[in-house]
């Protein structure tokens, strides 16, 4: 059953129903589970749970935990930034055992709810409190590392000598991808004595091209088209659903322009664009979310920040899919070596917004 309250979709599985008048939730759950009274909850950011990106992948982690442990699932889908406090309050009122908030933009609402409700456990994807909060577990990902590989690959596959990137909002969880991408292109140039240019982002000046949101696909398509007009033949959109417009622009080029997706394996989450995707910079948000929820069920929760890296598999390049036979073997070998060298410290990724252990 799905009802909307103040622009908020609140859904229970198996199931929580919230009446439009704001009456007390009613619950149903498949019988026979020792954990049926445990409520695992999630609040999306304004991109929604079907964003083919980080909300969708985080939600999969919730679903996996619910299935494995026989829990009750509760979720609140935000339609705008104004929904975050309302949605967080709704989850608290639903008597959730753990609330997972998805995205940097929910940091303030999460911190306030956590401090006001110390008996509830929280996890937040792609953010962390300014100071550690006892009942909040941050889930962060050092995507500068895997984006470094993506930049190297983009430079290696470019025929025009120009590659491009754009972001949604200028926030650390976006620019970390763009930083790594630019560094990877620069490393390629150094290794190969080339001069592939990065359009859309200057990591030294921390200035570049942004859509201003994560929702508007038309803006994403326009940004990508501007990069293509300037000569870029590989596009790296870091903009959630808005970035899908960049994939549309690449697909419309009829083979002249390719792209690299972020957060999820784009060939799985946005399969209609797989024909233009060299790879994706994937984040293991589903695994991190599932583990955080299960830790509460098993009474093993702690507030130590999780950081996904190339070393622990929390971030990685996705398979090459339709480009597997088109990417030269030596480039694949070089990408593997880059991974090894980043893990060993031989290559130091410089992005200043990389998450640091708390």
Is residue 164 within 8 A of residue 208, CB to CB? The reply is no
Per-residue pLDDT tens digits for 212-242: 998 899 999 999 999 999 999 999 999 999 9
Nearest residue to 261 via CA among 51, 70, 47: 51
pLDDT band at 29 (very low <50, low <70, confident <90, very high): low
pLDDT confidence of residue 25: 31
- Mean pLDDT taken over the chain: 91
Alpha helices in 97-213 (DSSP H): 107-116, 143-157, 172-192
pLDDT band at 26 (very low <50, low <70, confident <90, very high): very low
Q: How far apart are CA 157 and CA 163, in angstroms?
A: 10
Torsion angle, alpha carbons of 316, 320, 326, 331, to 10: 10
- Helix axes 172-192 and 329-344, enclosed angle (nearest 10): 120
pLDDT band at 39 (very low <50, low <70, confident <90, very high): very high
Domains defined along the chain, listed by start: 2-141+286-308 (3.40.50.2300), 143-283+328-344 (3.40.50.2300)
Helix (H) or strand (E) holding 219: helix 217-229
Per-residue pLDDT tens digits for 301-342: 999 999 999 999 999 999 999 999 999 999 999 999 999 999
Is residue 100 within 8 A of residue 64, CB to CB? The reply is no
């Amino acid at each position: 059953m799905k009802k909307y309250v103040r622009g908020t979709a609140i859904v229970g599985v198996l199931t929580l129903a919230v009446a439009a008048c704001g009456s007390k939730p009613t619950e149903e759950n498949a019988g026979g589970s020792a954990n049926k009274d445990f409520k695992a909850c999630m609040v999306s950011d304004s991109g929604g749970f079907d964003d083919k990106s980080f909300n969708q992948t985080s939600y999969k982690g919730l679903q996996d935990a619910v299935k494995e442990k026989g829990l009750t699932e509760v979720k609140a889908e935000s339609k705008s930034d104004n929904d975050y406090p309302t949605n967080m309050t709704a989850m608290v009122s639903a008597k959730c055992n753990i609330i997972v908030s998805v995205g940097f933009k929910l940091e303030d609402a999460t911190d306030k709810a956590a401090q006001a409700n110390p008996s509830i456990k929280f996890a937040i994807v792609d953010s962390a409190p300014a100071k550690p909060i006892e009942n909040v577990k941050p889930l962060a990902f050092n995507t500068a590392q895997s984006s470094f590989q993506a930049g190297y690959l983009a430079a290696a596959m470019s025929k025009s000598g120009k590659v491009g990137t754009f972001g949604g909002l200028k926030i650390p969880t976006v620019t970390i991808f763009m930083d790594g991408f630019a560094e990877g292109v620069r490393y390629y140039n150094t290794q190969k004595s080339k001069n592939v240019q990065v359009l859309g982002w200057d990591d030294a000046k921390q200035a570049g091209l942004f859509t201003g949101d994560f929702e508007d696909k038309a803006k994403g398509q326009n940004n990508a088209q501007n990069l293509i007009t300037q000569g870029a033949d590989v596009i790296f959109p870091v903009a959630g659903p808005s970035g899908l417009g960049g994939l549309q622009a690449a697909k419309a080029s009829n083979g002249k322009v390719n792209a690299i997706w972020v957060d999820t394996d784009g060939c799985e989450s946005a399969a209609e664009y797989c024909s233009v995707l060299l790879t994706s910079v994937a984040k293991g948000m589903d695994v991190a979310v599932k583990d955080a929820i299960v830790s509460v069920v098993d009474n093993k929760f702690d507030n130590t920040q999780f950081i996904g890296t190339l070393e622990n598999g929390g971030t990685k390049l996705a398979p090459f899919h339709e480009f597997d036979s088109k990417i030269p073997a030596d480039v694949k070998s070089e990408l593997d070596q880059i991974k090894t060298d980043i893990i060993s410290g031989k290559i130091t990724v410089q992005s200043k917004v990389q998450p640091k252990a708390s």
